[in-house]
Amino acid sequence: MRFDLVIFDWDGTLMNSVPKIVACMQAATRDAQLPSPTDKAVENIIGLGLPEAVATLFPGINEAQSTRLRECYAHHFVHADTTPMTFFEGVEQHIHGLRERSGLKMAVATGKTRKGLARIFEQTRSGDWFHASRTADETRSKPHPQMLSELLEELSLPAERAVMVGDTEYDLAMARALGMPSVGVSYGVHSVERLTACEPEFIAHSVDSLFGWLDRELKT
């Protein structure tokens, strides 16, 4: 088996949550009396921690405005917005298939907060799929590689025995910084060109393609 650990990004990789994130950020900016960003602008910051995402969308924003925007976003995401979020088709079936592989570990590295990840784990009953996880509020935000370093340390594995799977350049840049193999998925938010610039071993254009590649590599 080539890898002992598969680390997944969450939003845009396992879960089709991009429409909800876009809708909530645009609603939050209206509440906070800030210019509403385009869909593409919000998609660009998915994967970053919320403070880093806000700073990227609104360079020079003051702390009071940033706090207000983050509070409005959290309100819409948890309470007000009804945009559905589901796993991409086939994800659950394929993850269960990976869980049957003896010795293989799986983890999550996400821009969500710990509270947000715990909430979605509970809602989808998916928390026990993973041996470990890191969120942006308990370590450094992507693209800094600290969350990957901490996962490797927790699970006692070297970078070359793990693979990072994500839909943004932030995910792949983390892995590249550590010499960790990576796989990009093009069905999320960043373009194939942006993913390719981070030198992933493979770019998957569908869930089946992603897990097909993982299956082949885990048999070598």
Residue 107 Ramachandran class (φ > 0 left, ψ -120 to 50 alpha, else beta)? beta
18-80 folds as DNA polymerase; domain 1 (1.10.150)
Q: What is the pLDDT of residue 22?
A: 96
Is omega for the bond preceding 143 within 30 degrees of 0, making it cis? yes
Phi, psi of 31 (to 5 degrees): -65, -35
Q: What is the pLDDT of residue 172?
A: 98
Q: What is the pLDDT of residue 220?
A: 67
Every domain of the chain with CATH number 3.40.50.1000 lies at 5-16+88-218
- Determine the Cα–Cα distance for residues 49 and 38; give it in Å rounded to an integer: 19
- Determine the Cα–Cα distance for residues 95 and 112; give it in Å rounded to an integer: 20
Q: What is the pLDDT of residue 83?
A: 92
10-residue stretch averages of pLDDT, the chain, 220 residues long: 95 96 96 96 96 95 95 94 94 95 95 95 96 97 98 98 98 98 97 97 98 91
CATH class for the region spanning 5-16+88-218: alpha beta
Q: What is the pLDDT of residue 1?
A: 80
Every domain of the chain with CATH number 1.10.150 lies at 18-80
Q: What is the pLDDT of residue 219?
A: 83
